[in-house]
Amino acid sequence: MVSPGVRFLLQTVLPVLARPLLFGIALHHGSRFLDYALPLWATAVVASASLPTLGALSIWRKQRQHAREAAALGARLAPQPQGRWLGNLDLLRRLMWNSRYGYPTETITNWMAELGPVVNVRMFWTDAIVTSDPEHIKRVLSTDFSNYEKGPRFQNIMRSVLGTGVFNSDGDMWKFHRTITRPFFAKDRISHFEELDRNAELVITTLKSRSRGGYAVDFQDLIARFTMDSATEMLFGTCVNSLKAPVPYAHNANVFGSERPPTSDENAFIEAFSQAMEQVARREQRGLLAPLAEMWEDTTAKSMKVVSAFLDPIIAAAVERKKVADAMGGEKREAQTLLDELLNSTSDHTILKDETLNILLAGRDTTMHTLTMVMYFLCIHPAVNERLRAEVLDHVGPSRQPTYEDIKDMKYLRAVINEALRLYPPVPFNVRSSVNATTWPSPDPNEKPIYIPAGTSIPYSVLIMQRRKDLWGPDADDFDPDRFLDARVKKYLLSNAFQFLPFNAGPRICLGQQFAYNEMSFMLIRLLQSFSGFTLDEEACPPAARVPPEWKGAPGRKGIERFRPKMHLTMSTQGGLWIRVAEATD
């Protein structure tokens, strides 16, 4: 198999070099018709010198074309932050530094504060028009949906892990994947809580055990196990049982040795899938030149080999069971797993594997992050925790398993989850690619519309949008669940529903949105039935992962946060979220 780096050279670099090469050949042979034939070395020098000249000419022509097209449409080009280095390499360096060491989205947010909510972050003469404007995002996701696709660059980054699944496809392939997946997330399926309760009990048991021993617990790690076990059971009918493996101790815990999960196919699968997703996140961060970092091999290949070794037998067995059941006839049974549901539409191994992995990504990381953020806010806002617990006890009591109807009636619980999703959406950035040239309305009514060239990368930031004070009020940086219950709902949110998009919107809206709300609500109810309070243990967090002292007093949430957010494809908490719990006595 050709590596990403070699493929990049063949598809990108060789065509660029072809023009000066052809020019050199023509010059060398053409000079023979003159009185003086150019020597080969001189031809090579002239041909080499033509490369930057032709490149600069191509860039100039493209920019001039965009300016003419914008003028013809009565529009303007998107404002650009100006770099000092060739190709805006210094801007790329700043973004990379912020991604690794800074507060998520800070660099983009600063550019938008200066230039407006839409900016063209132009790197190596390639446009990336970033927006945090709800009207623009509405067009991309809904009203002009057909003009925006995932695009080849995003798909190339993800293909080695997600294949052509629902999150990594466009057109008919995307419609097919969405159609075969949708029935599984019907109402009668998402209200089944027995599987969740088994895993929730393991979470609670671990929290109690560590608490009684006087130890802090990494809630992010624990809840990641909960979401992974719940997701694999729902998708494949095979639980990886990560909650039954030992959980880590804090770096400062007085324990001998370290508990590591025992080696097993299930644990190997979890680790391999995580490593593969980390690699594709690095590809996204490296930008256009990312393939050059994988010159000799695809860095996801080894991990995906382990993933396949775990999944392939499960899928093959499910296909065989379906064949036997169809041959025997009889009454058709309701699909108990997503894999069973997909088998009603196809037995293609690749399609089954791609789609289940796509849904696994959505079902694990996003729910894990949101539950971690809710726990963080409950730790630092004890009044919110007390009020939420009172609602839980009032509706469900101290021990009864909650029902779908219980969850639907608990308005404050939904508000707490929504406020965590507003401040820290699991996917802070998403991206599309424009198919045809178009215009967007200007955020400033006194300015011309903004021109969007065809084939342009369109990143949009839900995180930046959901913290804008002009959209959410002067207290937009504050954690206040009541904003989803009081008059602010009508004043801010109902005026434009597209300014709150933790689950996306339009035809690509998250199929599992209601399932995610139910899973998160169920877990939180069970936690609040068992524990009366939660506190952060910041000393348990590894020193290198703690909030830098220079963040204190900075504008926005950066200056008050007590954990360090990390952003790749999805958000997480650097070093984990270490907490202590107080067991309930009522």
Q: Is the model more confident about 336 or about 384?
A: 384
Distance CA 160, CA 153 (A): 13
pLDDT at 216 over 90: yes
pLDDT of residue 42: 66
Give the pLDDT score at 351.
93
| Residues 218-262 pLDDT 10s | 999 999 999 999 999 988 888 889 999 888 999 988 876 555 545
Q: Which helix (H) or strand (E) element contains residue 571?
A: strand 571-573
Residue 1: the pLDDT is: 66
Higher pLDDT, 8 or 303: 303
**Residue 434 half-sphere exposure, CB side, CA atoms within 13 Å?**
22
For 106, how many CA atoms within 13 A lie in the half-sphere containing its CB? 19
Dist CA 488 CA 540 (whole Å): 38
The reported pLDDT for the residue numbered 172 is 92
Instruction: Say whether 163-247+262-426+502-583 and 76-162+428-466 share the same fold.
Output: no
77's enclosing H/E stretch is: strand 76-77
The pLDDT score that the predictor gives to residue 326 is: 82
User: Which residue would you say has higher pLDDT here, 192 or 371?
Assistant: 371
Domain 163-247+262-426+502-583 homologous superfamily, CATH: Cytochrome P450 (1.10.630.10)
Output the pTM of the full model.
Answer: 0.90
pLDDT for residue 43? 67
Q: What is the pLDDT of residues 505-540, one digit of tens each?
A: 999 999 889 999 999 999 999 999 999 999 999 999
State yes or no: 510 annotated in a binding site.
yes
User: Where along the chain do its domains lie?
Assistant: 76-162+428-466, 163-247+262-426+502-583
pLDDT digits (tens, 9 = 90+) for 560-582: 999 999 987 788 999 999 999 99
The fraction of the chain above a pLDDT of 90, given in percent, is 56
For residue 348, which phi and psi values (nearest 5 degrees)? -70, 120
Fold exhibited by the domain 76-162+428-466:
3.30.43
Is the model more confident about 27 or about 347?
A: 347
